[in-house]
Amino acid sequence: MNILLCCAAGMSTSLLVTKMEDYAKEQGLECRIWAVSANEVNDHVDDADVLLLGPQVRYLLPKMKKIGEEKGIPVDLINSVHYGLIKGDEVVKFAKSLIVS
C-alpha cells in the first residue's frame, strides 16, 4: 500500500509519516508512506495508491480529486483532529478504507 500525503510545504504532513509508519509496522502492513508539497504531487502521484491532503490545504481538494480520477486513485482530506493530534493509526485505517472501497 502506497500512501502519499500532501500539504503546503510537505513539512507538517511529514510529522504524520513517522507515526503512520510506526503503526503500519506494528500491524505488519507493507506500506510506503511519504509526504510532499502541493506542487510536487504531480511527480509522485503515479506511485501512490491513495492521496491524502492536510486539512489546511483543503482548497486544493477539487484539483487533487481531478488528478486522482485521472490516475484512478482515491483522494481525500485527513480528519483535522487526527491531523492535529498526529494519530498515525487512524490515518492509516482511513487510507485503507479508501483503497478498499
Partner 1 sequence: MSKINVFLEEKMMPVAGKIAAQRHLQALRDGIILAMPLIIIGSLFLILGFLPIPGYNEWMASIFGELWLTKLTYPVTATFDIMALVATFGIAYRLAEHYKVDPLSAGAISLSAFILATPYFTMFTPAGAEAAIEVTGVLPIALLGSKGLFVGILIAILSTEIFRYIIQKGLVIRMPAGVPPSVSKSFVALFPAAIVIIVVWLLRLIIEVTPFESLHNIVGQLLQEPLSVFGTTLIGAIVYVLLVHLLWVCGLHGAAIIGGIMGPIMLAATDENRLALQAGTEIPNIVNAQFFDIFIFMGGSGATLMFAIMMLIFAKSQQSKQLGKLAIGPGIFNINEPIVFGAPIVMNPILMIPFILAPVVMVISTFVLMHIGFAPKTTGVAVPWTTPPIIGGILAAGGNWRGGMMQAINLVIAFAIYYPFFKVWDKQNLQLEIGTESDKEN
Residues at the contact surface with partner 1, assessed by CB under 8 A: 7-9, 11-12, 15, 38-39, 42, 54-60, 62-63, 80-81, 83-86
Q: Is 7 a catalytic residue?
A: yes
Cβ atoms 16, 38 nearer than 8 A: no
* Residue closer to partner 1, measured from CB, 56 or 99: 56
Closest approach of Cβ 29 to partner 1, in Å?
23
Start-end of H helices in 27-78: 41-44, 61-71
Closest approach of Cβ 100 to partner 1, in Å?
26
Out of 7, 35, 51, 73, the active site residue is 7
Start-end of H helices in the chain: 12-26, 41-44, 61-71, 80-84, 88-100
Cβ atoms 78, 91 nearer than 8 A: yes
Give the active site residues: 7
